Every structure is written in structure tokens, then in C-alpha cells.
Amino acid sequence: MTDDPVILVTIDDDPQMIDFITDTLAGEGVEILGETDPSKGLELILRHRPAVVLLDLMMPHLNGMEILEKVKEAVPDAEVALLTGNYSTESAVEAIKMGASDYLEKPISPQKLRKRIGQMIEAVRQRQQESTLEENLAKLSIFEGMIGRSQAMQGLFSRIRRLAPHFQTVLVTGESGTGKELAARALHRLGSKASVPFAVCNCSAIPESLIESQLFGHVKGAFTGAAQAQVGIFEYAQGGTVFLDEIGDMPLAAQAKLLRVLQNREIQRVGSPATIKLNVRVVAATHRDLRTMVAAKQFREDLYYRLTVAELAVPPLRERKEDIPLLVRHILRRFSQEGTKPISGITRRAEEVLAAYPWPGNVRELENVFTHACIEATNETIDVRDLPSQRLQTVAQPTSFGDTRDPQPLKLEDLARWHARRILERLAGNKVKTAETLGISRSRLYSLLSGGDLEAEPDNLDVGKSAFLDFDSDPSH
């Protein structure tokens, strides 16, 4: 809490009144700026952005109500009180409706003035204290660029902190868009010396025939087309970290080679008998259920056990909805910093809509939806109308299913599609198994998956995903 004086601006065409206010409030922890000319007074307010404003109601040219309106626009948090010699209940109600905090009748005793202004100052101090608390909480809720105040995320942060200095291999699991790559980078940064490389390999994006040479390098002439010797990702990352993204998509042959590398901590370039000692830590990530893949013989069991010695599970956003307001603020801040246009906040109603949606595409989907809302917004504050309501409502909580009081009850077909997509994801994209599990034909499944305007499939929401192959040495320590 700050003990700086609260700035109070008072405008009254009667200079004696200004003197009276200044004398009465001396020693109350306020710095008082008085002005008898209403237009100049308004300028004073715009320049100093006072926390408290005292306005005479009847003044020539610009009256108190007009100033009130302008102050509420420019300094919405300011506590404004009106003072008048012609008190009436109607005008008091009118002023309160327009955002005034108090409406005082002249003449006013020094005691009463001190009491009523004291209440306004107290409200200001309280808000200052709350915003300091809020700031402190926000500081605790950000960890290596990851935001989360939920217990689940706080637990993840502390596991990352504890694992980072010690791990050789970690598996990061979690649905698409939950922040697996951010977690991998945090593990790298916290556990390595500055300026060692963080090398990313997206296993799903490299053709099967090239993956070994991408990972381990090759010598000149190792295969047709190998005109030059090439250093692989592991060698490049010496001293640092290799991030194997989408490890579930790695072909079985490459999995066998990777296992040997993890066991022996050495590599051979393709076509070379020489071994190279490795000092590299490995973070692998996947949105697939590797256990199911092991059962289906799509993933090597021995590699699975090697990788799961240390496992970090990033929780889906729907299980930590209390993080949504903070994430939204973070996205807002980033959007404002880009300077495209000023967006100052979000209405409570809009926040409720965001909280009700299950976010199958997780934080990435929230980022896309909300950034889009900022771009499209007509006002400075994001409201429900700026959100893609159809998308957010159609897939929203299957709990509302069957509730006819709902303005837009969920259609059965949409619910079926939502369910099918979840099962498909759980079964690692295996459509045959999914159809079997759901007890429907494959063609019915295909028509379900392709139908509708639902964009719930995380793949469709994939903006800014790592490129084919992306080397990234990370000096930001």
C-alpha cells in the first residue's frame, strides 16, 4: 500500500468555497488543487488524473453534471462528489446514476465534509491496496513466460523448477496447445548455462527417410543426395537441450536408434562408423497417449519406459479455468504492446462466456479467439458481441445438453461430433478404433468428423506451430 497523498481537484466558481475545502481537508492526506474556472478545472483534471474530484453543480458555461460526464469518461476510477445549494432527491439520483460517488448539500459543516470526503479517500486507498495485492499475485502467477495461478499450474512450475537442474530425459505430455513447448523451454533455461543451444525437432514434420540424418547427421555420400556432410540436431545441441516435439509421430526405426542414443549417450552420423560422445539433455513432447500406442505396437515399449522416467503432464485449460482471466490479461497486454489499437479490458459478461467454453484447443485456441476479438472489436472493451459466439456456444459445455431453457440448446449431432473428436484424440488419431469404440460405421465417423461448422479440432486452430525444422539457440538467460 502506498502512502502518497491522494490528489483531489475541486472546481467551484466561488473562491471562498475553495478556501473552505482546502482548510477543512488540510491534514487528511490529500493534495488539493482548486480552480474557479470550470474549463480550466477540467484541464486540470485531465492533466493530473486525480483520485477524488469535488464539483460545484451550478457554474457558468460548464456545469457540474457536464464535467462529471467528462471526468467519468477520462478518469473512470475517480471518485466524484457534487456540491450544490439546490439539493433535490431527483438530481442526486441522477448524479449517482451518472457515476457520482456522493452528492452534498451546501452549506456543509467542516465535520460532515471531512467525513464524506474521508469515505471517498478510504475507497481510493482500498483500491490501491487491492491492485498491489493483485500485482503481487500476478507476479507469482508467471513462471518463465508461463502463466497460471491454478493449483495445477503452480504444481507444474514447482516440478519444472525441481527437475530442471537434474534431468537427462523428460517426457512432457498434454493436449494440443496446453503449453508443452513452453514447459520444455523452461526446463532448458532453468537447467542450463547461458547461451547453450536449444534445438527443436518436430518429428511429425520430417519425412521418414530423412529423420535419422536430421537427428544424427550424415557423412558425405552416405546416401543418394548426401552431397555434403551434415551435422545432426544432437551434435548441434552439444552442451544444451534437444526438444523432440511430437515424439509419438517418430517412425519405429528411428525410435530404435533414439533409444540406443539415450542409453549410450553417443551418436554415429549416418554412414560413419565413428562414435561421438554426447552431452545433451532431451525433452520429448507429445499430445498422444503413448501407452495406448505401445499397446497398439505403434510406439516402442522400451523407449516409452526410458522416456517416462520423468514425466510432466501439462493440464488441459478446462481443468484450470481460474487461469483464463490471467491469460486473457496477458494476451491483452501483448496485443496492446503491438500498438495496433488500444484495448483496455474485457467485460464481466464476456469473461463468463470464455469461462463456460471447454477450450478443446487449450491456450492456443484462447489466444487465437481472443486476439481475433481484439482485432475485430469496435470498442476499447471486449464484450460478448466481439467473441465468436456461435463457436463458443455450440461446443460449450455438454452439461447444458438437453436443457431447453438454454437460448441455444446443444444439437445432438454437435454433441456426437464433440464426443467423437475426444475419443479420436484419446485413441491417438486411430479412426478405425474410434468407430469401433463408438459403435458406429467408419463412414458415419467420417461424416461426423467432416460435418458442421465446429472448429473444435485442435489442428484447425494451429497458428504459429513450429516450422518443419527449427534450430533455435536460446541466449535469453
Ligand X SMILES: Nc1ncnc2c1ncn2[C@@H]1O[C@H](COP(=O)(O)OP(=O)(O)OP(=O)(O)O)[C@@H](O)[C@H]1O
CB under 5 to 8 A by kind: which of Mg ion, ligand X, none does 59 bind? none
CB under 5 to 8 A by kind: which of Mg ion, ligand X, none does 328 bind? none
367 binds Mg ion (CB under 5 A): no
- CA-to-CA separations, 224 to 221, 227, 271, in angstroms, rounded: 7, 8, 11
**CA torsion angle for 167, 168, 174, 177 (degrees, to 10)?**
100
User: Minimum distance between the CB of residue 176 and ligand X, rounded to whole angstroms?
Assistant: 4
12 binds Mg ion (CB under 5 A): no
- 3-class state of residue 49 by DSSP: coil
CB under 5 to 8 A by kind: which of Mg ion, ligand X, none does 148 bind? ligand X
Taking the least distance from each CB to Mg ion, the nearer of 84 and 362 is 362
Taking the least distance from each CB to ligand X, the nearer of 12 and 245 is 245
Taking the least distance from each CB to ligand X, the nearer of 178 and 434 is 178
**What would the x/- binding string for Mg ion be over residues 128 to 167, using CB under 5 A?**
----------------------------------------
Grid coordinates given for 143:
513462471
User: Minimum distance between the CB of residue 315 and ligand X, rounded to whole angstroms?
Assistant: 10
Taking the least distance from each CB to ligand X, the nearer of 35 and 367 is 367
CB under 5 to 8 A by kind: which of ligand X, Mg ion, none does 215 bind? none
User: Minimum distance between the CB of residue 289 and Mg ion, rounded to whole angstroms?
Assistant: 16
- Is residue 275 within 8 A of residue 266, CB to CB? The reply is yes
Task: For 168, list phi and psi in degrees, rounded to 5.
Answer: -105, -40
Pairing mode, if any, of strands 102-105 and 79-84?
A: parallel
Taking the least distance from each CB to Mg ion, the nearer of 123 and 313 is 313
**What would the x/- binding string for Mg ion be over residues 189 to 218, using CB under 5 A?**
------------------------------
User: Minimum distance between the CB of residue 227 and Mg ion, rounded to whole angstroms?
Assistant: 32
Element (H, E) at 276: strand 275-277
- CA-to-CA separations, 80 to 39, 40, 365, in angstroms, rounded: 17, 17, 41
DSSP-assigned letter for residue 74: H
User: Minimum distance between the CB of residue 173 and ligand X, rounded to whole angstroms?
Assistant: 9
Give pairs for 372-380: CB < 8 Å, separation 24+. 374/331, 374/332, 374/335, 374/341, 374/343, 375/340, 377/343, 380/342, 380/343, 380/344, 380/345
CB under 5 to 8 A by kind: which of ligand X, Mg ion, none does 364 bind? ligand X
181 binds Mg ion (CB under 5 A): yes
Grid coordinates given for 144:
518463465
- Is residue 303 within 8 A of residue 259, CB to CB? The reply is yes
State the residues that interact with ligand X by CB under 6 A.
Answer: 146-148, 174, 176-182, 287, 327, 330, 363-364, 367, 464
CB under 5 to 8 A by kind: which of Mg ion, ligand X, none does 287 bind? ligand X
User: Minimum distance between the CB of residue 172 and ligand X, rounded to whole angstroms?
Assistant: 8
Give the residue at shortest CB distance from ligand X: 179
CB under 5 to 8 A by kind: which of Mg ion, ligand X, none does 177 bind? ligand X
Q: Which residues pair with 32 in a beta bridge?
A: 8
User: Minimum distance between the CB of residue 194 and ligand X, rounded to whole angstroms?
Assistant: 22
- Is residue 37 within 8 A of residue 67, CB to CB? The reply is no
Identify the CA nearest to 150 among candidates 357, 361, 391, 327: 327
Size of the site for Mg ion (CB under 5 A): 1
Q: Which residues contact 123 (CB under 8 A, 6 or more apart)?
A: 79, 101
Taking the least distance from each CB to ligand X, the nearer of 174 and 240 is 174
Taking the least distance from each CB to Mg ion, the nearer of 269 and 281 is 281
- Is residue 11 within 8 A of residue 67, CB to CB? The reply is yes
Residues that bind Mg ion (CB under 5 A): 181
